[in-house]
Copies of this chain bind each other. A is one copy, B any other.
Amino acid sequence: MEDDRISLAHGNGGRFMRELIEEVFARQLAGSQLDVQADAVAIDLGDGEVMITTDGFTVQPLEFPGGDIGSLAVHGTTNDLAVSGARPMYLTLNAFIEEGFEIARLERIVASLNTAANEAGVKISAGDTKVLRRGEGGGIYLATTGVGVRLPGVRPAMRRIRDGDVMIVSGPVGDHGTAVMLAREEFGLRGDLISDAGPVMALTEPLLALDGLRFMRDPTRGGIASIGHEIVKATGLGVRFEATIPVREPVQSVCEMLGYDPYYLACEGRVVAVIDPSQVDKALAIWRAVPTGREAARIGRIVADQQRVILETPLGGERFLEELEDDPLPRIC
């Protein structure tokens, strides 16, 4: 057995597994007061309504400009709580690690996960590790479950959406998807684009004070086009994206070269909000005052006449954004 790589014995409940958990996970996650001995641990949630969510992570490459699978596993799950109007408090962590994986790399990933957890204000409260036989796993997969408490204010929900509501986004779309794709180098493209992956609580929490807030979602897999389809499915209304959707120049270029559509690409640190038209300016002002929301923009509106997702083009035309079928970019999150 090589000392610097994961072996099957790291997953068997014996000495090597204990050492891996103590020396990598417990050490890197020291701030989280993780009790690696307990079958289950108590978590203090105070009096609020408890919210829960879960997410799996398979991103490839495991490390990319702006993050890695560890930080992503924190942001992806805590952001789902944030857009639901909750403050994330606890996270559980499952790691599926392939035999032969470098322990130094695992340490980097767990350290990055710990930094992201501190930034998001969550404690890692429970964890589990399984080792996959060589060839039966793509390096490492993570799954995180987040528990939080609902904050006072509006309870954002799809069913609050009304005809005439306006959609805004907190920043340019597609940075994460494009940054991960470029990091793969399989297209022979290079760029200095950085993933937008990061916490969104600074964006979501102040919006809960606006009674015109209807709904929030982070445009991850499937991008903003898929949020459009989810709204159409749930409300029976239509979504009309306007020609104002912010897309960075390198994202636009890569999409043009490869025939992708940036509206289907994943973000991991953006928020789409649906707002009563009378409070859109207020919402945009709140977001633009936050570092991660400086490039916030209005991107569309809810309409009743067509039950479709429509994109208005800069020259005054329009096209339908169909529901995503083929996967343009597998293992993006």
Instruction: Please list the residues of chain A having a beta carbon within 8 angstroms of any beta carbon in chain B.
Output: 8-9, 11-18, 37-45, 49-58, 80-81, 83-84, 86, 90, 92-96, 125-133, 135-138, 141, 143, 145-148, 150, 158, 217-218, 220-223, 226, 230, 233-234, 266, 323-331
Copies of this protein chain in the complex? 2
Task: Flag if B148 contacts A37 (CB, 8 Å).
Answer: no
A8-B327, A52-B125, A138-B137 known; A39 vs B147 contact (CB < 8 Å): no
Given A145-B145, A327-B12, A52 and B222 contact (CB-CB distance below 8 Å): no
Shortest beta-carbon distance, A267 to chain B, in Å?
12
A217 to B13, CA, bound (A): 13
Beta-carbon nearest neighbor of A78 in chain B: B40
Contact among B49, B84, B226, B330 for A39, CB-based, below 8 A: B84
Interface centre among A37, A40, A222, by most B CB within 10 Å? A40
| A8: B residues at CB distance < 8 A | 327, 330
Q: With the chains together, A135 CA to B81 CA distance in Å? A: 33
8 A-B pairs whose Cβ atoms sit less than 8 Å apart in the complex: A14-B323, A15-B324, A37-B158, A38-B84, A43-B50, A43-B51, A58-B132, A135-B135
Given that A51-B41, A80-B39, A325-B16 are contacting pairs, would A58 and B130 also be in contact in the complex, using a CB cutoff of 8 Å?
yes
Name the distance in Å between A217's Cβ and chain B's nearest Cβ.
6
Judging by beta carbons under 8 Å apart, are A12 and B221 in contact? yes
Q: Please name all residues of chain B whose beta carbon is closer than 8 Å to the beta carbon of A234 when the two chains form the complex.
A: 37
Given known A92-B145, A222-B13, contact A56–B137 (CB-CB < 8 A): no
List, in ascending order, chain B residues with CB within 8 A of A328's CB. Answer: 12
Q: Taking the nearest CB of chain B, how far is it from the CB of A145, in angstroms?
A: 4
Q: Please indicate the chain B residues that have their CB under 8 angstroms from the CB of A138 in the complex.
A: 132-133, 136-137
Complex: A324 Cα to B10 Cα, angstroms: 10
The answer on a CB contact under 8 Å between B147 and A147 is yes
Most interface-central of A143, A217, A226, A323 (chain B CB within 10 A)? A143
* Of the residues B51, B129, B331, contact of A56 by C-beta under 8 Å: B129
Kindly list chain B residues whose C-beta atoms are within 8 Å of the C-beta of A53: 39-41, 92, 126
A12 → B minimal CB distance (Å): 4
Closest CB-CB distance, A94 to chain B, in whole Å?
4
On whether A11 and B327 interact (CB within 8 A), knowing A41-B53, A218-B39, the answer reads: yes
Q: What's the least CB distance linking A32 to chain B, in Å?
A: 13
Q: How far is the CA of A18 from the CA of B233 in the complex (A)?
A: 11
Bound-state CA distance A141–B133 (Å) is: 12
